[in-house]
């Protein structure tokens, strides 16, 4: 074996040894990188959905509707403690953000985790308009059942916690959309279930806005 060949083999062996040593840390770096992508998604959502708080916020027991833990075809009420505004629009935003973020378990979600509530409006006639990001359409499992459960969870949760809303129109990214995810018709507003409608403590009907106390001055 020539000296040159020995030298080349030696260099190759050193490179293989260095590669073997570096491989685990390289794998960890790739994994960290994929985790960072998720973190960026979360950060973006946090920027899009700043914490909503108002001077009228009070802690209340809110009734939320997520998937039942015994049947994937049904919703079940879950009572959680939330800090909610008396203003019906802000209260609705807080409630819907909690519906997206605070499911007791991932398998009980009705709305995709990446969904963002972009805007919420309430007309004097009681018609509410909720504008969601594309994720509600692209990531909700396709099907009549799953799409209806998603919409029902929104309607029943709003009905249980906000008064003054009679029907809800759903927009996706500001647009009127044919279906939620290929099945459920979004053309018309959905009536809120009247049986679940209850006077939410501190909430006011849309037609009678509550005078707001002056906002706290920043120090």
- Does 54 bind another protein (CB under 8 A)? Our answer is no
The secondary structure of 22-38 as a DSSP string is HHHHHHHHHHHHHHHHH
The 132-171 site mask, x for binding another protein (CB under 8 A), equals: ---------xxxxxx-xx----------------xx-x-x
Which two three-digit tokens encode residue 205?
């009907």
Pairing of strands 117-122, 75-84: unpaired
Binding track, positions 99-128, relative to another protein; x by CB under 8 A: --------------------x-x-xxxxx-
CA-CA distance, 153 to 69, in Å (whole number)?
Answer: 14
Residue span binding another protein (CB under 8 A) among the ranges 13-21, 42-50, 180-188, 208-216: 180-188
User: Considering the rule CB under 8 A, would residue 208 count as an interface residue with another protein?
Assistant: no
Minimum separation from the CB atom of position 109 to another protein (A): 11
- Of 83 and 169, CB closest to another protein: 169
Which sign does the torsion angle of CA 116, 118, 122, 127 carry? negative
CA distances 26 to 34, 38, 144, Å, are 13, 19, 44
76 binds another protein (CB under 8 A): no
- Work out how close the CB of 191 gets to another protein at its nearest, in angstroms, rounded to a whole number: 5
Gyration radius (Cα) of the chain, Å: 25
H or E stretch covering 91? helix 88-101
Q: How far is the CB of 197 from another protein (least distance, A)?
A: 15
124: Cα separation from own chain's centroid: 26
Interface residues with another protein (CB under 8 A) are: 71-73, 119, 121, 123-127, 129, 131, 141-146, 148-149, 166-167, 169, 171, 174-176, 178-179, 182-185, 187-191
């Amino acid at each position: 074996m020539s000296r040159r060949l020995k030298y080349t083999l030696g260099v190759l062996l050193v490179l293989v040894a260095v590669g073997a040593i570096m491989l685990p840390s390289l794998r960890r770096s790739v994994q960290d990188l994929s985790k960072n992508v998720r973190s960026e998604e979360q950060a973006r959502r946090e920027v899009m959905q700043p914490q909503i708080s108002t001077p009228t916020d009070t802690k209340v027991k809110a009734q939320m509707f997520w998937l039942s833990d015994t049947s994937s075809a049904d919703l079940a009420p879950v009572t959680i403690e939330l800090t909610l505004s008396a203003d019906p629009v802000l209260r609705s935003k807080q409630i819907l953000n909690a519906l997206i973020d605070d499911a007791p378990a991932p398998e009980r979600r009705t709305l995709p985790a990446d969904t963002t509530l972009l805007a919420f409006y309430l007309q004097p006639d009681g018609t509410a308009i909720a504008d969601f990001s594309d994720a509600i359409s692209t990531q909700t499992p396709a099907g009549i059942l799953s799409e209806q459960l998603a919409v029902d969870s929104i309607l029943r949760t709003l009905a249980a916690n906000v008064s003054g809303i009679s029907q809800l129109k759903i927009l996706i990214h500001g647009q009127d959309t044919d279906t939620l995810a290929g099945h459920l018709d979004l053309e018309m507003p959905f009536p809120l279930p009247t049986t679940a409608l209850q006077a939410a403590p501190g909430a006011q009907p849309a037609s009678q806005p509550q005078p707001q106390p002056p906002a706290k001055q920043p120090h």
